[in-house]
């Protein structure tokens, strides 16, 4: 058991017999993995339901205390490293926690279903280490997972993400390629390949990987449109770049992808729309004031304003 959330016993004692009903739901993260740490689960209407226990496999036991005989419990779930989730617990339901910038529908790779248990355990440990930004520990566990089961696409993909964090782009690319080869329908791997290619200036590789990722899931990875826009901008295909950048901004409903605003600003500047460029660059700086290129973007704004005759 990860944790036990105590129900006020005095309050429960006051509830008429027969109105305390226990139900079970489950919380998971990537590829159906249990939460890497204890989630905080807060009922939205205090007194209507209570979370009694949270178990190590992500199972949640909760109590419904009203007389509606419903199994619904509206809650807010918080988990470090994952987006806040306003959810409804229902008996037998599975609640998926998503990492920031992920909008993909929850799907499990076929390779996950086929993975041996010891490979799955290593993957779970890697996810836990990754959520705590313990990159070396995460790398070790993901490498162990793929050593046990070389076709484990999500483990290869996660290993690639860790290697990017460790500034190892070439091994990261190889890991993403192994993920895509193991499961060609695993969209996150193609999204990562597109991002890496765009960052490295490999425009055609970026467009190819982005196109494939978007065929698999056209709305789940807004950052793919950023990669596509960067590649089209480099090729001076400005209309296509603007279309992709605007789609990235539109799909990023939680405002978690600052680069979408930066790239859209750059596209508009290239098209001669200084006002639009300034607007989106300023939005970028609001979203990411400490970005590595923040000073460069501020200078772009200053230059654009000067060119437009502004003070």
pLDDT at 19: 56
* Interval 167-218: pLDDT, tens: 999 999 999 999 999 999 999 999 999 999 999 999 999 999 999 999 999 9
pLDDT in tens, 102-117: 888 878 899 999 999 9
- Give me Rg for the CA atoms of the chain: 23
**In angstroms, what CA-CA distances link 228 with 143, 198, 261?**
30, 8, 14
Torsion sign (Cα): 141, 119, 153, 124: negative
What pTM was estimated for this model as a whole?
Answer: 0.87
The conformational region for residue 81 under phi > 0 = left, psi -120 to 50 = alpha, else beta, is left
Q: Which residue has the higher pLDDT, 18 or 71?
A: 71
Query: Domains (ranges, CATH) in the chain?
Result: 3-96 (2.60.40), 110-307 (1.25.40.10)
Position 46 scores a pLDDT of 75
């Amino acid at each position: 058991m990860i944790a036990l959330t105590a129900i006020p016993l005095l309050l429960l004692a006051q509830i008429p017999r027969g109105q305390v009903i226990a139900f079970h739901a489950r919380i998971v993260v990537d590829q159906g993995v249990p939460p890497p740490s204890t989630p905080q689960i807060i009922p939205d209407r205090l007194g209507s339901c209570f979370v009694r226990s949270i178990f190590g496999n992500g199972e949640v036991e909760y109590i419904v205390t009203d007389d509606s005989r419903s199994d619904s419990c509206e809650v807010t779930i918080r988990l470090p490293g994952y987006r806040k989730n306003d959810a409804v617990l229902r008996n037998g339901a599975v609640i998926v926690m998503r990492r920031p910038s992920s909008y993909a529908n929850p799907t499990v790779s076929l390779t996950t279903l086929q993975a041996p248990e010891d490979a799955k355990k290593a993957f779970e440990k890697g996810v836990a280490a990754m959520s705590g930004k313990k990159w070396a520990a995460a790398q070790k566990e993901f490498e162990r997972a793929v050593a046990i089961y070389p076709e484990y696409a999500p483990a290869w993909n996660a290993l690639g993400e860790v290697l990017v964090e460790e500034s190892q782009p070439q091994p990261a690319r190889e890991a993403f390629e192994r993920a895509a080869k193991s499961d060609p329908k695993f969209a996150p791997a193609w999204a990562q390949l597109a991002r890496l290619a765009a960052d490295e200036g490999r425009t055609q590789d970026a467009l190819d990987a982005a196109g494939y990722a978007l065929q698999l899931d056209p709305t789940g990875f807004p950052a793919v449109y950023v990669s596509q826009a960067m590649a089209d901008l480099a090729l001076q295909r400005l209309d296509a770049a603007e279309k992709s950048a605007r789609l990235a901004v539109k799909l990023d409903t939680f405002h978690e992808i600052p680069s979408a605003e930066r790239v859209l600003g750059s596209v508009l500047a290239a098209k001669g729309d200084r006002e639009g460029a300034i607007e989106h660059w300023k939005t970028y700086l609001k979203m990411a004031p400490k970005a590595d290129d923040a000073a460069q973007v501020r200078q772009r704004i200053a230059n654009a304003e000067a060119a437009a005759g502004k003070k």
